[in-house]
Chains A and B, each alone.
Chain A
Amino acid sequence: MKQIVSPGCTTGPFFPVDFSDGSEDLSQRNGLAAKGQHIILTGHVLELGGKPARNMVVEIWQADASGIFRHPLDPRQQDCDPGFWCWGRARTDADGVYRFTTIIPGAYEDRAPHINVAILGIGLTRPLVTNIFFDARADVVFECVPAELRSRLLAKPEGDGVYRFDVILRGENETPFFVE
């Protein structure tokens, strides 16, 4: 018999700080360094009026430099980079800033390099999900976004391996989010 999906709710303000610690750096795993181009992925999470959203939880999920996910559904799972965590979690600071150390994921099949992002925290009864892209090449998910909004899903290189991606939850230049 089909079961009814349980109702979710917000994390609230007190998601344990320890639960984020140590997960901001995806680029080292079991003493090995990840293959690929190491980057800092950072930005603000902002609410209506451009105000920083402090204490939000940001989770990411991405392929390794060869476009492989460490998951049983990926037929190439065995070849996933042993030095790379495909998952990370960070918390925004008092200025609403999050920061990950990761790599630029590889492309695969019908997907351009991209990072899945979920935002959790006060005010959000369900996670907000979107994708970060690194360029505007063809991608089946990128192309679902109205053309005039696509640039909002591009991480902006700032030099020295730093890529900026601001998440605007609501208001002017609002980030496009996907059905979760």
Chain B
Amino acid sequence: MMDDSTMKIDYAPYDDATQTLRQIDKYTPSATRVPSAPLIERPLTLSERTGPTELVSKWNVGKLDLCRLAPDSPRALGQLIHVTGRVTDEDGAPVSSVVMEIWQANASGKYIHELDDHRAPLDPNFTGQGRLVTDEDGRYEVFTVKPGAYPVLYSGWWWRPPHIHFSILGTSWMNRFITQIFFPGEVLNEKDLLLNGVPSRDVRDRLIFKPTDTVMGDLSYIGYQRDFVLRGHRQTPELP
């Protein structure tokens, strides 16, 4: 992304038909935290068109394996999976050398987090979080275990289906990106407030992993794939 084409990237406003709704019925925190006033339009200046592309140098970012502490350590409990995908812009051009942050519950649905009150066990071999950097083709990969479902305790009824959280720092302030990706065929998917807080079936499908290969060998695992498209497209050249 550091080539000359970066200089001509433009950012159209998000198309609401392709995005998760801001206010989701029954997702009560959205009622008290989403602003009531309309968002204000502004011109995009250098300040918005730049962003923290240097974070690769700030953090120790390398290969990512969430399900063992060191290459010769025992694996975490749960179904070993390999998650892969590619990050591009709206033109399909790779978004390379950006930091991706990943976090998830362990196989029993427990996060390593001080505010997780779910009474499920932690797994000493599961790190549950990490950072990686996209390669020159915008690709990423991570070994992990399939996360467990977990209850949203305050709600009294809502169980989150298995999902993995992704955060991409992007190439500018305008394409900072955070999402959650779900697993196909999960019964809990049907009732999840967030997965169903989208305007259409089509948008929902883009929040779900695609199963890829099942691999057998020294390491046997199931593959899942999810590509991400960040906002940003090259400006259309003016006709002479």
Question: What residues of chain A have their CB less than 8 Å away from a CB belonging to chain B?
Answer: 1-19, 23, 47-49, 51, 53, 55, 59, 61-63, 69-74, 85-87, 108-111, 114, 116, 118, 120-129, 140-141, 144-145, 169-171, 174-180
Contact = CB atoms under 8 A, between A and B. Distances in A.
B46 A73 contact: yes
Nearest to A13: B115
- Majority DSSP secondary structure for residues of A touching B: loop
Contacts, number: 217
Given A70-B54, A114-B47, A127 B33 contact: no
- Majority DSSP secondary structure for residues of B touching A: loop
A125 B37 CA distance: 17
A53 B29 CA distance: 10
B37 A180 contact: no
B41 A179 contact: yes
A166 to B, nearest CB: 14
Contact of B46 (A12, A109, A176, A178): A109
A122 B41 contact: no
A47 B170 CA distance: 28
Contacts of B14: 5, 126, 180
Contact of B50 (A11, A13, A19, A73): A73
Given A13-B115, A73-B46, A123 B54 contact: no
A178 B179 CA distance: 20
- 8 closest A-B pairs (Cβ-Cβ)? A123-B29, A123-B33, A71-B50, A87-B52, A48-B32, A14-B111, A69-B50, A16-B129
Interface of B: 2, 6-7, 13-15, 18-22, 24, 27, 29-37, 39-43, 45-55, 58, 88-92, 101, 103, 105, 111-116, 128-129, 165, 167, 172-174, 176-180, 194, 197-198, 203, 206-207, 227-231, 233
Given A6-B177, A47-B32, A175-B35, 5 more contacts: A5-B229, A7-B203, A123-B27, A125-B22, A141-B45
A125 B2 contact: no
A141 B231 contact: no
Nearest to A2: B90
B47 A18 contact: no
Contact of A110 (B45, B114, B177): B45
B90 A71 contact: no
Contacts of A110: 45
Contacts of A72: 2, 6, 53
